[in-house]
Amino acid sequence: MPDGELTRQLDRYLRHLAIERGLSANTVAAYRRDLGAFLAALADRGVADAAALDAETARAYVVGLRERETPLSAASTARVISSIRGFTRFLVEEGVIVRDPAEQLAPPKLPKRLPKALSIDQVQALLEATDGDDPVRLRDKALLELLYATGARVSEAVALDVDDLVGADGTAELIRVVGKGDKQRIVPVGSFARAAVEAYLVRSRPLLATGGSSTPALFLGARGARLSRQNAWLVIRAAADRAQLGVDVSPHSLRHSFATHLLQGGADVRVVQELLGHASVATTQLYTHVTIDGLRDVYQQAHPRAR
């Protein structure tokens, strides 16, 4: 990244995101990548100071992203524009510049992407693919059961400590999840996940913990340290391969399935919002479109006057 006033302001902005807004390290790193590339392009144009950044320069950079040999997707372009606008708005609020040069940057319109959920049978097959008695399989079983039982993000699950399990006599009846913006929520744990977690704690975690230094982490890797988000995703992908589901499985598949199956079972959307840790119910309501599609299919197949 080039040195100059803009670089120093970017460092201030990233600290602001991490400390004052409480964004996660992964989110701050994404801002750093997007804005670092933006500042490097500005340096190539001879722009190193905030006062020299104007609307035309910002617009030209975004146009260039769409016209390069491998153009950014609409979603990636929208993310970059959001990053730039956040940074320039910060510069205005801090009195570094008077007018916001990115104020008129318009993100491309994105199609509304509905979350993809697995069917109940597919989830069952995925969970059964982690069956086994060795320490790693017991851990993997507990991880996937907990993800489906609670709707936690993968990053939230690997951040759990043993002390985040709440229940009488050490049983995991509830878990304390720390979500985006360090917001905490308490989520109940179903009987299958509770049994899997308790089996892992008794028969697996002590063996994994001997490979490394003491850690409060709930889920451990083979060397005894906290299981990483990347390795947790590898666990999910390996289970999906063994289950031969025939559909794409993402790190969020179990979270999407958790929400969709709750709504299909009659859960109130506001309750699901709380369980997922969504700041806005509008985000949760995306899942209602998925369940409505399912209801429409059943209606068209079953009602004599629907076809």
CA distances from 138 to 1, 39, 41, 75, 169 (A): 44, 47, 49, 38, 21
Indicate if 153 belongs to the active site.
Answer: yes
Catalytic residue among 13, 31, 148, 287: 287
Take residue 212 and report the two structure tokens written for it.
Answer: 């490394």
Active site residue 180: yes
> Among the options 85, 194, 252, 256, which is catalytic?
252
Q: Which residue among 153, 205, 226, 261 is the active-site one?
A: 153
Closest CA to 84 of 37, 121, 22: 37
Residue for token pair 């490394």: 212
- Buried residues in 57-81 as b, exposed as e (16+ CB within 10 A): bbeebbeebeeeeeebeeeebbbbb
Say if CB 224 and CB 210 are below 8 A apart. yes
Is 112 in the active site? no
Other C-beta atoms lying within 10 Å of the C-beta of residue 55: 15
Helices (H), 180-248: 191-203, 205-209, 229-243
Catalytic residue among 139, 226, 255, 256: 255
Q: Could you say which of 89, 137, 180, 229 is catalytic?
A: 180
Tell me the DSSP string of 57-83. HHHHHHHHHHHSSSPPPHHHHHHHHHH
SS3 176: strand
Name the residue among 97, 148, 144, 169 with its Cα closest to residue 242: 144
Give the span between the Cα atoms of 78 and 30, in whole angstroms: 13
Strand, coil or helix: 187: strand
Q: How far apart are the first and last CA of the chain?
A: 61
CA neighbor of 204 nearest in space, from 234, 187, 227, 186: 227
H runs (alpha helix) in 2-159? 5-15, 25-44, 55-67, 74-93, 120-128, 135-150, 154-158
Show which residues are catalytic.
153, 180, 252, 255, 278, 287
